[in-house]
Amino acid sequence: MASDPSIARLGSADIAFREIQAASGPGDERPVLVFLHEGLGCIGMWKDFPDALVSATGCHALIYDRPGHGASGPESRDRDKRFFDDEAHETLPALLSHLGISNPILIGHSDGGTIALLYAGAYPVRGLVTEAAHVFVEPESLDGVAAAKLAWRDPRFRERLARYHGAGTAAMFDAWSNMWSAEWFRDWNIEDKLAAVACPLLVIQGRDDEYGTDAQVEAIVRGVSGPVSSMLASNCGHAPHIQARQVVLARMAEFIRGLVA
């Protein structure tokens, strides 16, 4: 059983986080794996995948809830086009500084992958793994959000999310779905910021991702300036670490072990 998360007070924000210690080996000498969750995600929705990756690499890990998610405090302002930049350049640096973590390996899923890319373009990181990251808005992204808004009408869908997000579930869902479906967000694009990403990068996406196409992968591979490899997981949607767990775990572990060898 995972322990209850700890809380970091960062200014006026309460950020929930969980640390995983490697069982043995040179974990203290290795970079920390930092997990950044998806748009409707939180610490608990990673399930035991971070623990498995810690076991496979000997690295310690950090998982955290963004404001408005999981056990963290609420978001302090409405989302706008700077949402991802603010998370990458304010929340995440403050948390890592508070915990004394430098030069991490980032593992970002979906919106968390976008934040990880923006962070890696501005701060030192040992390496970066993205899963289903977005760098521009596609029709498939809008269709996926529209389908989620329809699913929200089902009490069972809301109840599943509420197990992880509690009383803040509705506010979290509205903040995410309203931003992604807003007219002002349609031309959001960070392709021009990718050249600043010079660290080693592994880009993963499911071939059947309901929120985007492999054009996202192609744009990331084309845009970054550092060494990059990619993986398209077959029979897999938006959550490769769950839907294609074994092949994704093996590929991530191989990539990370290469970084710390």
- C-beta atoms surrounding 39 within 10 Å: 24
pLDDT at 1 over 60: no
pLDDT at 104 over 90: yes
Residue 122 lies in a domain: yes
Measure the CA–CA gap between 253 and 259, rounded to whole angstroms: 10
For 22-26, 54-58, 99-103, 136-140, which range has the lowest pLDDT when averaged over its residues? 22-26
Specify the 3-state DSSP secondary structure of 17.
strand
Q: Which among 201, 196, 209 is positioned nearest to 243, based on CA atoms? A: 209
* Residues 85 and 98: beta-carbon distance below 8 Å: no
Residue 25: pLDDT band with limits 50, 70, 90: low
pLDDT at 12: 85
Residue 1 lies in a domain: no
* Residues 21 and 27: beta-carbon distance below 8 Å: yes
* Residues 105 and 144: beta-carbon distance below 8 Å: no
Residue 33 in tokens = 């794996």
* Residues 216 and 224: beta-carbon distance below 8 Å: no
**CATH code assigned at 130:** 3.40.50.1820
Measure the CA–CA gap between 136 and 143, rounded to whole angstroms: 14
Q: What is the distance of C-alpha 222 from the center of its chain?
A: 21
65 forms beta bridges with none
Residue 157 lies in a domain: yes
The mean of the pLDDT values for the chain is 96
Model pTM?
Answer: 0.96
Specify the 3-state DSSP secondary structure of 189.
strand
pLDDT at 24: 66
Residue 74 lies in a domain: yes
pLDDT at 28 over 80: no
Q: How does pLDDT run across 48-83, given as a tens digit for each residue?
A: 999 999 999 999 999 999 999 999 999 989 999 999
- Parent domain of 242: 6-260
pLDDT at 30: 87
Number of domains into which the chain is organized: 1
pLDDT at 11: 87
- C-beta atoms surrounding 106 within 10 Å: 28
pLDDT at 179 over 80: yes
Measure the CA–CA gap between 22 and 110, rounded to whole angstroms: 26
